[in-house]
Amino acid sequence: MGWLIFLGVLVLLGCLPLGVRLNFDEGGFRAAVLIGRIPVRMYPVPRWLRNMPSRHKKEEQSPEPKPKGAEPQSQEQPGGGIRRFLPFVRLGLELLGDFRRKLRVNFLRLRLTLAGEDPCDLAVNYGRAWAALGNLMPNLERALVIRKRDVEIQCDFQAEETTVVFAMDLTMTLGRLLGLALGYGLRALKLFLTMKKAVQTNE
């Protein structure tokens, strides 16, 4: 019975969505981390996060004395072979591709309000805005899975400037995230060990 409860908890944790919530409107830009359905504000930086002691400040206040006569060491490091670097680049690109395919845009909202007094100019800008969105949205939908979207363009003859309202929830389940980390972590470790063995053989 205990094992069944444990497995049930693991399944529930694996289905837990994690992600970010981005918003921009008249109040400015806001960002929050999503844990399930609970948003945790990260920007503007909340008070509890600002009050956390900074480790860097402590290190700056008490610098270690430099020994006399010590020569400054050069910060430049010799470059590595490009053939050893490219496999890691390919692995990173594969990771980005799989990461992108597993991301979910739960909600995307974009409301653009065009300002202007001249109806002719507004009509031209209105057409240009929809043309730009017509090119952008298909590419975005090919790159990401968008479950729900709300895109709107409107005109306001009394507004002083063009405004935009943007909101997006971007999530991935904990199980998928751990699967990517484990799978690509093992592949990176195997690649590193193979290259290390090759270097030792050449020596």
pLDDT digits (tens, 9 = 90+) for 104-137: 899 999 999 999 889 899 999 999 999 999 998 8
Assess contact for 21 and 34: CB atoms under 8 A.
Answer: yes
pLDDT tens figures, 56-78: 555 555 555 555 555 555 455 55
Does 55 map to a domain?
Answer: no
Residue 100's φ and ψ, nearest 5 degrees, are -65, -40
Tell me what the pLDDT averaged over the chain comes to: 81
**C-alpha to C-alpha distance for 30 and 41, rounded to whole angstroms:** 8
pLDDT tens figures, 134-162: 998 898 888 888 999 999 999 998 888 99
Q: How many distinct structural domains can be found in the chain?
A: 1
Assess contact for 22 and 168: CB atoms under 8 A.
Answer: yes
**The domain containing residue 163 runs over which residues?**
17-47+82-202
Does 9 map to a domain?
Answer: no
**C-alpha to C-alpha distance for 37 and 42, rounded to whole angstroms:** 15
185: confidence class by pLDDT, cuts 50, 70, 90: confident
Does 102 map to a domain?
Answer: yes
Coil vs helix vs strand at 81 = coil
pTM (two decimals) = 0.68
Residue 48 has pLDDT above 60, yes or no: yes
**C-alpha to C-alpha distance for 134 and 61, rounded to whole angstroms:** 54
pLDDT confidence of residue 91: 84
Cis status, amide bond into 44, omega within 30 of 0: yes
